[in-house]
Structure 1
């Protein structure tokens, strides 16, 4: 963009002093196309963020119309549903239909699951992936595994809280069966997490499995594999950061030259 005369004039740059770094007939259209794509991505992010904010505001208004007991809000809705509603303060929203479906112990496990979502601010992870996918459609594939990981996080937190993995698994399974694949509370926003989301059979199986046997060779191998993947990702991030710093330093030098200054 520095090669475009209007942009160069804003910075009092001399385009010829930028040096010959390619054919202008190719770089200028590429810069314009990149700017258009960047603008489209920014608009998509703004649209998704506004939609998310509007949905949360509507859900909070609907929950605020009913009395709260601590962080718990009960909606007089016969459709079984429960979800964690972020905000200040965060709320655990549950319908009367869901309360009638579960036993007292299962309700406590369900509430602990939703409170884990609020405590871990899991909605921010999900929002980050949603906004990233708005810029880069290929990132949409990350949403499903992220939702599963966040639900498993909350499952384990709930099991630790109530002290019974079997009760937690039963609560999640019964809640999912009651809610059904197409059921949903009328005021539930699309960007929140619920205990009935994701591959429930896998989650229930993971809770019922004996995960305390950390000395098992397969588990140790899994830990080693995850460490290798994490190391590879960190190396990629470090390489990208070094390349970005090098590009920024090169651009700074070019701007100084174009302004008639001696390079630092």
Structure 2
């Protein structure tokens, strides 16, 4: 197969490390958008490349080619290569579609089950208190969204830290952070090499909520203490029984790193220009843009070649004059 078709399938090997490196130097909100957008773009290019492989190979089959009165020899390429590749692409696309549907259904099922469980308990505004002794708190999206907290967590925190914890979970609801994670999960279904983006995305979302909570509470140290104390009080084995796996919680992720970020100066002095940090950030940004651009351009180039090939063969089949593609242009079904 031509290089243009395969580039989007291999580009995550370079783009994912570049995105992770760049996200580390950005503000949490920008990092979350960057990682999610990168996952969507790479997954889209991968799906397009598989679709092109499937189309180019399927058109080598007489029943499919006859639908558009195509002349098979004019499509170029070796059917011994393009047809098996099309079969593999069809299998991958079919498996991906089933996995995406399953992932979305599981997401909605877990949220629906959690909401049914919380409906059995009284709520105050967006706050729902569960009578569990195990300390836990999480943001449960829906209409309306709810901040779910257990009685054990309320006993573990003083009033000011409770407010900081609630502000953190409300930030998850307001920002619809669960959709970021769901999008990244679906992208990883489309291409397994995108799975390493989930961990930095989850961290960026927690840091985004941390900063929002600190701004609303007006005290970064109180927010840091709330996050740290809640994480120490929470016991994963005990909270796993009633917390859905698709929700965000303040006690998850690298809590010491998040607490350290909250206790750091809010506005550090700007570093001198052209430092090594700026250089690494620039290199990561350029590398990521190059990877995304090359992936999209390769998919577009392969689609254009296939379109020109079909246009030429269709015109030839109906006896109309057509300008043959330039040498090497008809490549989508080639070797």
TM-score for the superposition, normalised by structure 1: 0.90
> Is residue 205 of structure 1 aligned with residue 249 of structure 2?
no
- Pairing partner for 1:102 from 157, 180, 199: 157
2:247 & 2:70 partners in 1: Cα distance? 49
Counting only pairs closer than 5 Å after superposition, residues 1-264 of structure 1 correspond to structure 2 as 1-18=58-75, 20-21=76-77, 23-184=78-239, 186-217=241-272, 222=277, 225-260=280-315, 262=322
Shift of 1:220: 6.7
In the alignment of these two chains, the number of paired residues is 262
2:125 & 2:278 partners in 1: Cα distance? 39
Shift of 1:180: 2.4
Which 10-residue stretch deviates more, 28-37 or 180-189? 180-189
Q: Which runs of 5+ in 1 are unaligned?
A: none
Shift of 1:93: 1.0
Shift of 1:250: 1.5
Structure showing greater relative contact order (alpha-carbon pairs closer than 8 Å, 6 or more residues apart) = 2
2:245 & 2:280 partners in 1: Cα distance? 34
1:12 & 1:64 partners in 2: Cα distance? 60
2:235 & 2:74 partners in 1: Cα distance? 66
Shift of 1:221: 5.2
Instruction: Quote the RMSD (CA, aligned, Å).
Output: 2.2
1:73 & 1:220 partners in 2: Cα distance? 48
Q: 1:238 to 1:140 in 2, by over 3 A?
A: closer
Please give the secondary structure, in 2, of the residue aligned with 1:93: strand
Q: Are 2:231 and 2:250, in contact at CA under 8 Å, matched by a contact in 1?
A: yes
Shift of 1:151: 0.7
Please give the secondary structure, in 2, of the residue aligned with 1:66: coil
CA displacement 1:164-202 (0-9 Å, x = unmatched): 111001101111111124331533211111000001111
1:253 & 1:118 partners in 2: Cα distance? 48
Q: Are 1:214 and 1:220, in contact at CA under 8 Å, matched by a contact in 2?
A: no
Q: Are 2:134 and 2:235, in contact at CA under 8 Å, matched by a contact in 1?
A: no
Please give the secondary structure, in 2, of the residue aligned with 1:182: helix
CA displacement 1:206-234 (0-9 Å, x = unmatched): 11122321324599754553344233322
